[in-house]
Chains A and B, each alone.
Chain A
Amino acid sequence: MEDLLFELQLALPQVILGVINGSFYALLSLGLAVIFGMLNVINFAHGAQFMMGAFVAWLLLSYLGIGYWPALILSPLIVGFVGVLMERLMISRLYKLDHLYGLLLTFGCALVIEGLFRNTFGSSGQRYTTPPEFRALDLELADFFLPGYRVWVLIAASAVCLGTWLVIEKTKIGSYLRAATERPQLVQAFGINVPLMMTLTYAAGVALAAFAGVLAAPIYSVHPAMGANFIITVFAVVVIGGMGSIMGAVVTGFLLGFVQGITDVFYPEASQTVVFVIMAIVLLTRPAGLFGRA
């Protein structure tokens, strides 16, 4: 009993770290879910856009001297604008076709974006220093040190997730959005500009990815493949949660971070594969996903 208590005490910080990492899963799968809900497109370029978010923050800092806080707003706006162009010029042409074409198109976009960044900035990564003001949030408990920046990541990600949920579920715009997802022609007939809404939804989803990218920049090295590492895991998260609900995407994201945190302590070798194992189990028992509609 004492052993177990001791183990749990050791595990607690790891679990906290796991949930913090889950913030990134939650933000990314939230963006995917928002885009999928409205456009019926699986955005394979999501990882590349996450990377762009981090890179734009780095570019703002190193070329224009614009710091972390403005970048947190500016970078999602800039990358979101790129998203607008992508949606208008390419994705919007595919709505009448099989959804798989959207997947293939965005896969191509991901290759182009990653390749261009590699050509321009090399692949060994850029540094983005953690803003010093986060030191104030540093937590030190006996043996355990939690950098203030990680605390901030958890707060910021939770706030944005909650905000997005509120916008979609509780506001007028959100109700248009939900209606347009179900019956686009009808909503159009009521005088709402559905194509514009689609564009803005895509941009919003992309901006969420970019926001996650800016949050990640001080933790990870900013390099062209940083998104590609994430995206397959996030796909598994999306399959587990099911694409049905916004809440589902967020909850599953945090939940898997939590599971990974525990695995890191007790069986670190499996902490990457555990997501895929859970995915297989969920598919066997609830093919539509934990929160999905069949």
Chain B
Amino acid sequence: MAEGTIATAGGIAARHEETGLWGFTKPQAVAFLLMLAFVLVSPFFLYPVFLMKVLCFALFACAFNLLIGYVGLLSFGHAAYFGMGAYITGYAAKAWGVPPELAILMGGATGALLGIPFGWLAIRRAGIYFAMITLALAQMVYFFALQAPFTGGEDGIQAIPRGTLFGVFDLTADLTMYWLVAAIFLAGFLLIHRIVHSPFGQVMKAIRDNEPRATSLGYRTDDYKLMAFVLSATLAGIAGGTKALVFNIATLTDVHWAMSGEVVLMSLVGGLGTIFGPVVGAAVIITMQNYLAEFGAWVLVIQGVIFIACVLAFRRGILGEIAHALRVKL
């Protein structure tokens, strides 16, 4: 059954289990330093707006991965939290003139507030049902976003100001904005990492691997699942809010089910249940979209083919495969 669980890569017995700083294993620490170096250096030779997009989606994918990789729940409705986070951040920044740091936090709060009732409903079922329920609930959010006056309907919220961070840093400069996005991403990433390696995270994994046993040990598994769900939704909201500031827009695309599908794809490509996988997956998919924009009509087909290829031949994802080949945990 080890092969059977969805989080294959997460379940691999690692050769290096000794943990160093912040609960990273040695290879993870190396990977993290590499990622950190890339985040710090890349804006000087890569296009910052593109990098910001990657980081926003990387955080989104990490949030999604928290649920699938560590609790074993596949949500097909994460666009709801991402998109509503974007709308609230955008609206707060534009209509109320809320400073960016607060606006993004409000995006996160939106994700949490939405995640509580949705999670409460959805965790009543697991597996495929959970996926379908989250999809259906997210569809309701989409209808709501279309109708509610503050979202601007089909036009979305346009020309959202990036504002001034802490009243000091003017974010209209792409590079300044980049450092904010990078900081948010790294904070979110480390938070997820900490959660996974906390006692709370251990219980989550126990639920994923054997829920009846976790229950018999006296854990109220539903509470844990709900908490994980809300955390994931919160981070998705923060990612959405940040994206809204970067691109100055919040639109229906962000709440559409295709967005939910995309974040699944990112995590799948990178490696479900690996900490770094979603980051790599987001980078790959965003880069691909960037280039496919000039290919036009084939975007859907190519994304679909990647989905199929990943599921059939490549279930561990890029990082999962690398980790497997090197017999380490990433």
Q: Touch between A and B in complex, CB under 8 Å? A: yes
Tell me the complex Cα distance, A272–B144, Å: 11
User: Among A97, A109, A119, A279, which residue has its beta carbon within 8 angstroms of that of B136?
Assistant: A279
Contact across chains for B311 and A276 when beta carbons are under 8 A apart: no
Tell me the complex Cα distance, A273–B147, Å: 12
Contact across chains for A90 and B308 when beta carbons are under 8 A apart: yes
Q: Which residues of B contact A104 (CB under 8 A)?
A: 264, 268, 307, 310-311
Q: Which residues of A contact B6 (CB under 8 A)?
A: 98, 100-101
Q: Which residues of A contact B303 (CB under 8 A)?
A: 108, 111
Residue ID in chain A nearest B131 by CB atoms: A103
Q: Is B140 an interface residue (CB 8 A)?
A: yes
Q: Is A115 an interface residue (CB 8 A)?
A: yes
Contact across chains for B305 and A108 when beta carbons are under 8 A apart: yes
Residue ID in chain A nearest B73 by CB atoms: A100
Tell me the complex Cα distance, A109–B298, Å: 14
Contact across chains for B312 and A100 when beta carbons are under 8 A apart: no
Restricting to A78-132, which residues have a CB under 8 Å from any CB of B? Answer: 90, 93-94, 96-101, 103-105, 107-116, 118-119
Extra contacts besides A96-B4, A108-B303 (15): CB < 8 Å: A98-B5, A104-B307, A107-B264, A108-B307, A108-B310, A112-B304, A112-B305, A114-B300, A115-B304, A119-B298, A236-B132, A239-B129, A273-B140, A283-B133, A287-B125
**Given known A-B contacts A103-B131, A236-B136, A273-B140, A97 and B308 have beta carbons under 8 A apart:** no
Q: Is A256 an interface residue (CB 8 A)?
A: no
Chain B binding surface, main DSSP class: helix
Q: Which residues of A contact B139 (CB under 8 A)?
A: 232, 236, 276
Q: Is A42 an interface residue (CB 8 A)?
A: yes
Q: Is A71 an interface residue (CB 8 A)?
A: no
Residues of chain B having any CB pair with chain A under 8 Å? 3-6, 74, 76, 121, 124-125, 127-129, 131-133, 135-137, 139-140, 143, 257, 261, 264, 268, 297-308, 310-312, 315
Contact across chains for A42 and B301 when beta carbons are under 8 A apart: no
Chain A binding surface, main DSSP class: helix
Restricting to A277-294, which residues have a CB under 8 Å from any CB of B? Answer: 279-280, 283-284, 287
Contact across chains for A107 and B132 when beta carbons are under 8 A apart: no
Contact across chains for B132 and A115 when beta carbons are under 8 A apart: no
Contact across chains for B304 and A111 when beta carbons are under 8 A apart: yes
Contact across chains for B307 and A273 when beta carbons are under 8 A apart: no
Tell me the complex Cα distance, A236–B132, Å: 7
**Given known A-B contacts A42-B128, A107-B261, A235 and B135 have beta carbons under 8 A apart:** yes
Tell me the complex Cα distance, A118–B301, Å: 10
